[in-house]
Chains A and B, each alone.
Chain A
Amino acid sequence: MSRIAVGISGGVDSAVAASLLLEQGYDVEAIFMKNWEDDSEYCTVEQDYKDALQVCDLLKIPLRSVNFSKEYWEKVFQYFLEEYKSGRTPNPDIMCNSEIKFKEFLNYAIDLGAEKIATGHYVRKDLINGETVLLKGLDSKKDQSYFLHTLNQKQLKHSLFPVGALSKSQVRKYAEKKGFQNFNKKDSVGICFIGERNFKDFLKEYIPAKPGNIVSETGNVIGEHDGLMFHTIGQRKGLGIGGGKSRIPGAWYVLEKDLIHNELIVGQGIDHPALYKKTINASNIHWINNRKPNTNKLGAKIRYRGKDSICTIDELTNDHIKIVFEKPQFGIADGQSVVFYNDDICLGGAIITSSC
């Protein structure tokens, strides 16, 4: 049977993925990727590696290690910093998938003599009319297609997603039954290289924070912010201007970031009209099957775990897409991805450049 290289993280999903492939008769090897050099207390890599070791020992499969921290630094982290410097909200996990896991790691696995790679992502794939399609994971709460929408045909053909048809609770139950010590391990949240540490403190180490004014939409200065990069459109907390205590009732929300004047424009109430926009312009368009969709009406997500909302493609060139949603969308952040769906099929996506 053909050899599969499973990207094993120490978490329960990839552990179960490896085990399922083994049951299906594949020749399975596990590969532990290290993408970040950090010996600090925040870094869980040692524990992750121990968990991976325990699983591989139980399954009697070899565990190999590879270090992509240089590639990660150059291709993912630099992008991450540049985006923040430009006032946008990047998505390093999406970049990590396209540049590291499904590029560097895939090439590495093939060099190692593997036919395909496998990961613990909650997505599925199918073959329709000779094309490989990416499907949402069956567990709608865990579906990770949003993060994988930049994959191409070659990458998809060489990838397996063994847990995509399972729910998270099924995965945990399976792992417990198998005796994996990580069966109950907490899901990793947030950006992997930041881990548990304070996001602001982390970012400040790399980008100087420029404090400025917080301004209401009418132009009144109502407070001070510690740096625009710490704030995202639609964000409520952390403005330090105590919404409830001010004259007009209602919490304050970030409406806009004025990079030129280094001002954070805020407005009150979650229903504030400026927080809801119907039109998105986006670039860096990618279609998984390499073709524009044959319908203009699509489902779209503007954030992970968001709902699919119906939208229409208004303009579409090679490097620009304009879409209009049926209903206004809350808190659209530049730099995030808009991902398109046709029901369960993930078609691709683009990076948001503006909204109105």
Chain B
Amino acid sequence: MHYFDHSATTPINLEVLELINKVQKINYANPSSLHSAGKKAKTIIEESRRRVANAINAEPDQIFFTSGGTESNNHVLWSMLSHHNAHVITDVIEHPAILKVLEYLKTFGLNYSLIKVNSKGRIDLKELEEKITKKTCLISVMLANNEIGTIQPIREIIDLMISKDILMHTDAVQCLGKMKVDVKELRVDFLSLSSHKFYGPKGVGILYVKNRSTIKSLILGGSQEGGLRGGTENVASIAGAGLAAELSVKYLKENSKKLDMLKLFFINELKLIFPNIIINGDSSNSLPGLASISFPGFRSDILLAKLDRVNIAVSNGAACGSGNVKPSSILSAIGIDEKTNLSTLRFSFGTTNTIVEIKKLLEELKLILNNK
């Protein structure tokens, strides 16, 4: 299979897999147990925590393991219920793990405002500033978008609210290993990550919390994760996530360069085959390796199926439980009409993709597009 859907998930790094298997087999003890085997398991988790902390320039005690990016986002948002009459600001192109949660929390009395984005997917800073009220306790804006790759000006947002008592969260799930994620530079209070997006295992997320006192527990039970998240830890996968984070940062420079090169080569060659394509997002400020491309006159579900027949995996729109595709709300938000929206494919390249594979993709696309 030629896999070009790395924004959905990445294949696991083999070194990481090896570590997971080893820990799974040997270190099965409960990290809360007081015998040596339990303490060893606990050590493995703490080692992983240090690795993650180093990867994003945080302190180990600011890193909390969760079940995934969705839980990390939920944790931050649910925690805001402890503020009286809480008001949250976010934008219209956030992941459902933000938008759906806020919609639900509204029934518990949490208010929120959605800010627009421009045609490149960049948030409207002026609107954001206007939406800030005395009750605003949190602004949550993703670091980079999962469908179009646009990177948001997180630091500029923080500059806006300087001297205001507002917490800042960013969903950085798409970013680790593709761009620098440095919590000290970003100056955010919370940051969400998901291990399976950076060649780690599924089922492990990370929540960075600058100051422990700003957040409440979401899952109560045992005193794991400093009491912030109860439940026996997924030791092996946590170990894998730590190593994956470390490797992502270690090879960041060469990997992001490679992803950029693959994307550029792909887009340039594709333009020659099919000059009518529309490239969505912000070409000057977006994630490497991710290309959202509309093919006017074609249906993305048919293109996807035809590529699937030749073992090429790409994605379109926002898939839901029954495998169906609706027009992407992100593309609608950047002003793309419905027909173009439904003609859009997302190609997200990964570190193991090669130019030879991209050539194969181009070859198959050429056949499909010319054989309408």
Chain A residues in contact with chain B, CB under 8 A? 29, 32, 34, 37, 45-46, 48-49, 62-67, 108, 111-113
Partner of B301, one of A37, A62, A66, A113: A66
CB-defined interface of B289-314 with A at 8 Å, one 1/0 digit per residue? Answer: 00000000001011001101100000
Contacts of A62 in B (CB 8 A): 305, 308-309
- The closest CB in chain B to the CB of A10 belongs to B322
Q: Do residues B309 and A67 form an inter-chain contact, with CB atoms below 8 A?
A: no
Inter-subunit contact B321/A49 (CB<8 Å): yes
B360 at the interface (CB under 8 A from A): no
Closest B residue, CB atoms, query A34: B324
* Contact residues in B for A65 (Cβ distance below 8 Å): 301, 322-325
**Is A112 in contact with B324, judged by CB distance below 8 angstroms?**
no
Instruction: Verify B322–A34 contact, CB threshold 8 A.
Output: yes
**Quick check: is B326 within 8 A (CB to CB) of the other chain?**
yes
Bound: A49/B302 CA distance, A: 19
Partner of A32, one of B299, B302, B309, B323: B323
Contact with A along B13-52 (1 / 0, CB 8 A): 0000000000000000000000000000000000000000
Which of B299, B306, B322 contacts A46, CB < 8 Å? Answer: B322
Residues of A within 8 A of B306 (CB): 112-113
* Chain B residue contacts of A111, Cβ below 8 A: 299, 302
Residues from chain A with a CB closer than 8 A to the CB of B324 are 32, 34, 65-67
Q: How far is it, in angstroms, between the C-alpha of A329 and the C-alpha of B92 when the chains are bound?
A: 59
Query: 18 additional contacts, CB 8 Å, given A62-B309, A65-B322?
Result: A32-B322, A32-B324, A34-B324, A46-B322, A48-B322, A49-B321, A49-B322, A49-B323, A63-B323, A64-B301, A64-B308, A65-B324, A65-B325, A67-B301, A67-B324, A67-B325, A67-B326, A112-B302
> Which residues from chain B contact A64 at a C-beta distance below 8 Å?
301, 305, 308
Enumerate chain B residues within 8 angstroms of A63, measured Cβ to Cβ: 323
How far does the alpha carbon of A46 sit from the alpha carbon of B322 in the complex, in Å?
A: 5
Q: Can you list 18 A-B contacts (CB < 8 A)? A: A34-B322, A45-B322, A48-B322, A49-B322, A62-B305, A62-B309, A63-B323, A64-B301, A64-B305, A66-B301, A66-B324, A67-B325, A108-B302, A111-B299, A112-B302, A112-B305, A112-B306, A113-B306
Smallest beta-carbon distance B296→chain A, Å = 16
Distance of A27 Cα from B301 Cα, bound (Å): 19
* Cα separation A113 to B371 with both chains bound (whole Å): 10
CB under 8 Å from chain A, chain B span 331-350: none
B residues in contact with A32, CB < 8 Å: 322-324
| Chain A, residue nearest B308 (CB) | A62
Q: List, in ascending order, chain A residues with CB within 8 A of B309's CB.
A: 62
A46, B320: Cα distance in complex, Å:
10
A167-B10 Cα distance, complex, nearest whole Å: 47
The closest CB in chain B to the CB of A32 belongs to B323
Complex Cα spacing A63 to B319, Å = 14
Residues in B whose Cβ lies below 8 Å from that of A29: 305
- Within the assembled complex, what's the spacing in Å between the Cα atoms of A179 and B322? 22
- How far is it, in angstroms, between the C-alpha of A29 and the C-alpha of B306 when the chains are bound? 12
The complex places the Cα of A289 from the Cα of B184 at a distance, in Å, of 75
Which residues of chain B come closer than 8 Å to A66, judged between CB atoms?
A: 301, 324
The CA of A34 and the CA of B320, in the complex, are separated in Å by: 11
Most A Cβ at <10 Å: residue of B302, B309, B321, B322: B322
Please give the distance in Å from A256's CB to the nearest CB on chain B. 43
Chain B residues with Cβ below 8 Å from A45 are 321-322
Q: How far is it, in angstroms, between the C-alpha of A64 and the C-alpha of B322 when the chains are bound?
A: 10
Q: Which 8 residue pairs are nearest across A and B when measured between Cβ atoms? A: A65-B323, A49-B322, A34-B324, A67-B324, A65-B324, A45-B322, A64-B305, A46-B321
B101 to chain A, nearest CB (A): 16
Instruction: Tell me the smallest distance from the CB of A94 to a CB of chain B, in Å.
Output: 24
Min Cβ gap A294→B in Å is 43
Specify which chain A residues have a CB less than 8 angstroms from the CB of B301 in the assembled complex.
64-67
Docked complex Cα distance between A64 and B309 (Å): 11
Closest chain B CB from A200 CB (angstroms): 27
Chain A residues within 8 Å of B322, by CB: 32, 34, 45-46, 48-49, 65
Bound Cα distance from A113 to B367, whole angstroms: 13
* Chain A minimum-CB-distance residue to B309: A62
CA distance A111 to B321 in the complex (A): 25
Among A48, A66, A108, max chain B CB count under 10 A is at A66
A65 to B302, CA, bound (A): 10
- The closest CB in chain A to the CB of B368 belongs to A113
| Measured CA separation A65–B304 after assembly (Å) | 11
Instruction: Specify which chain B residues have a CB less than 8 angstroms from the CB of A34 in the assembled complex.
Output: 322, 324
Smallest beta-carbon distance A178→chain B, Å: 22
Which residues of the partner chain A approach B302 to less than 8 Å between Cβ atoms?
A: 108, 111-112
Most buried by B among A65, A112, A113: A65
**Which residue of chain B is the closest to A108 with respect to CB atoms?**
B302
Q: With A and B bound together, what is the CA distance between A221 and B49 in angstroms? A: 79
| Distance in angstroms between the alpha carbons of A49 and B323 in the assembled complex | 8
Q: How far apart sit A49 and B320, CA to CA, in the bound complex (Å)? A: 11
Q: How far is the CB of A113 from chain B (nearest CB, A)?
A: 7
CA distance A62 to B311 in the complex (A): 11
CB distance from A337 to the nearest CB of B (A): 30
Inter-chain contacts of A67 with B (CB < 8 A): 301, 324-326
Chain A min CB distance to B298 (Å): 9
